[in-house]
Amino acid sequence: MSKLYEHGTLAALMAGNMAGTIAVGDLLKHGNTGIGTFDGLNGEVIILNGEVYQAVSDGHVNHVTERDAKMPFASVHFPDKPTPVTLQQVNFDLLNGQFVDDHQLANVFAFLKLSGHFEKVHTRIAPKQERPYPSLLEVAKGQPEFHRQDIDGTILGYYAPDVFGSITAAGWHLHFISDDRQFAGHLLGFSADQLKGDFEIFDTLEQHLPVEDQDYRQSKVDLQSLRAGIAAAEGSK
Ligand SMILES: [Zn+2]
């Protein structure tokens, strides 16, 4: 069973610690598949087979080959004997309900990757922020959203149990990227007749913290508003 490696925490992002704290090259030592964001919350990242793609807020997708580029928050893993899956009439309702129940995901971290033809895809892309960084909640109010119909692509990302919902997004956190690599983003909604792919669960979470970063060391997290803020900023249905 493989290990999920996570750099940074959602709570730190919520508090406005958006500066990059791990280089892409270092992150890729811990996984060749995953999702994340770049320095200053600059876009939505998809990592597939060691290739790094960044959707930026004007809607373009960059193929990132620079290994020194830094990220404040990312989750990656090396796939290890994933379980094949074929799903019909796929949308977030199915993933959040029946899929979680069928595979008993409620209390585990899991990865899901599904490819095929999507009737609809609804995404959003975080715009790059400048210092002094706002809270993630404020950023969430002004994020460009995108809609596509009849597009071939892949969704991938992670499931986290509710009790871990302050270090990462609870439930599914999925990103989309089209087969032609021209359209990508953080997934807010989708529908597809049939998707094929695989999933796996992790028995180990490695939570890496940016301990050299002074902003992180000095930041204060307001637990009272954390959950509500995360729901508003990272929620998907
Ligand atoms: Zn995302």
pLDDT tens-digit readout, 22-58: 999 999 999 999 999 999 999 999 999 999 999 999 9
Query: Any idea which residue has 């899929």 for tokens?
Result: 99
Tokens of 192: 């597809």
Q: For residue 188, how far is its CA from the centre of ligand 1 (angstroms)?
A: 9
Question: pLDDT tens, 180-191?
Answer: 999 999 999 999
Cβ atoms 189, 91 nearer than 8 A: yes
Q: For residue 171, how far is its CA from the centre of ligand 1 (angstroms)?
A: 12
Partner residues linked to 118 by β-bridges: 151
Q: For residue 125, how far is its CA from the centre of ligand 1 (angstroms)?
A: 8
Q: For residue 163, how far is its CA from the centre of ligand 1 (angstroms)?
A: 19
Q: For residue 157, how far is its CA from the centre of ligand 1 (angstroms)?
A: 9
What is the model's pLDDT at position 209? 97
Q: For residue 201, how far is its CA from the centre of ligand 1 (angstroms)?
A: 19
Q: 151-160, 205-214, 224-233: which has the minimum mean pLDDT?
A: 224-233
Task: Tell me the pLDDT band of 222, cut-offs 50, 70 and 90.
Answer: confident
Mean pLDDT of 51-67: 97
What is the model's pLDDT at position 235? 62
Q: For residue 158, how far is its CA from the centre of ligand 1 (angstroms)?
A: 10
Task: Tell me the pLDDT band of 236, cut-offs 50, 70 and 90.
Answer: low
Q: For residue 35, how far is its CA from the centre of ligand 1 (angstroms)?
A: 7
How much is the pTM? 0.95
Measured between alpha carbons, how far is residue 218 from residues 13, 108, 215, 230 in Å?
A: 13, 31, 5, 20
Q: For residue 74, how far is its CA from the centre of ligand 1 (angstroms)?
A: 9
Task: Tell me the pLDDT band of 237, cut-offs 50, 70 and 90.
Answer: very low
DSSP state of 10: H
Q: For residue 36, how far is its CA from the centre of ligand 1 (angstroms)?
A: 7
Position 8 pLDDT exceeds 50: yes
Q: For residue 233, how far is its CA from the centre of ligand 1 (angstroms)?
A: 9
Alpha helices in 68-193 (DSSP H): 92-94, 100-102, 136-140
DSSP state of 126: P
Q: For residue 101, how far is its CA from the centre of ligand 1 (angstroms)?
A: 23
| CATH dotted code for 3-234 | 3.30.1330.80
Q: Are strands 3-7 and 204-208 parallel, antiparallel or unpaired?
A: parallel
